[in-house]
Every structure is written in C-alpha cells, then in structure tokens.
Amino acid sequence: MAAVLSSEAERRVRDSFARQGFMKKLGVEFHRLDYGICELTVAFDESMTQQHGFFHAGVTTTLADNAAGYAAYSIMPENSTVLTTEFKMNLLAPARGPKLLARAEIIKPGRTLIVVRSDVYTIDHDQETHIATMLATEMCLMDKEDKPRA
C-alpha cells in the first residue's frame, strides 16, 4: 500500500462524504485520508448515547463502516462507486470518552471486492482506548455514479 493518494481520488472521496446527510447529522469529520487508509472522528454529546451514557454502538459502527468504505474507495478507479456488502463488528469495551476515532486500513485489495479492517478508539486527551474492531467487505461498482440518479 505504498502508492500515493491522487488528487482525483481525494476529491472523489471528499465529495462522496459531503453528499452523506448522515455525516452532517452526526458531525463526523475526516482526520486522515491516504491511499487505502481513512480515519474519521466524531465528538461526544448527549445525542450520541446508549442507555449507560456512552457512545451508542450505532455511532461506533457508522464511523467504522464509513472509514472502511472510504479507505476502499480511495483506491478505486475514477468512474466507480463503492458499496459495503457486509461487515462484522466486535465491541471490545465501553465507548466512553469525549471523542471517537475510526482507523480503516485495507487488508486485501481486489478488483471487485476489497477487505478492510476498521478499528475504533476513544480518544481522551492523549489516551487511545481500543473499543471496537470491524472486518468489512467493500464492493467496487464500475460505471455507476457515486451520487443520486438525476
């Protein structure tokens, strides 16, 4: 994975992300985007919680899944779109802290299917705690637009 993210791919990923209303709703932001790597963060507030007052697993999973999708999309060709076909999530510890960070990295690139690992951490000052790990399969669809049909 030594290749460099092209400016075309960077723009393509960021435009796609910007079309996701759900990212705006949650306030998710890019932390890092490289060739085959994507990191996303989101900040805690009361609207993010499950019943114990921690980040809801739905927030954690959304972050992990989206990081996985954009890690994969960053290595796909120009006239393509990305689709998550499946993922598996293990929740390792309570998601307690002011910030979540998801870090996704490609395990196996393929022309059609790309397998990605996505790990989620809580960030509290300088301390990272590993709170979830995901294995995801992303699919490359060629000659399909990565946006709503007109």
**Judged by CB under 8 A, does residue 46 bind a copy of itself?**
yes
Q: Which of 128, 108, 146, 141 is nearest to 12 (CA)?
A: 146
Assign 63 to helix, strand or coil. Answer: helix
Of 5, 30, 35, 91, the one binding a copy of itself by CB under 8 A: 91
Of 2, 7, 78, 90, the one binding a copy of itself by CB under 8 A: 90
Q: Please report how close the Cβ of residue 141 comes to a copy of itself at its closest, in angstroms.
A: 10
Q: Please enumerate in sequence order all residues whose Cβ is within 8 A of that of 137, keeping only pairs 6 or more positions apart, or say none.
A: 84, 85, 86, 87, 113, 114, 115, 116
What length does the chain have?
A: 150
- The DSSP bridge partners found for residue 117 are 105, 135
Per-residue binding letters, 70-89, with a copy of itself (x by CB under 8 A) = -----------x-xxxxxxx
**Judged by CB under 8 A, does residue 129 bind a copy of itself?**
no
Question: Per CB under 8 A, which region of 1-9, 33-41, 49-57, 120-128 contacts a copy of itself?
Answer: 49-57
Supply the DSSP symbol for 97: S
Distance of alpha carbon 91 from alpha carbon 88, whole angstroms: 10
- Contacts with a copy of itself, residue ranges (CB under 8 A): 16-17, 19-22, 24-26, 45-53, 56-59, 61-63, 65-66, 81, 83-93, 107-108, 112-113, 115, 117, 130, 133, 135, 137, 139, 146-149
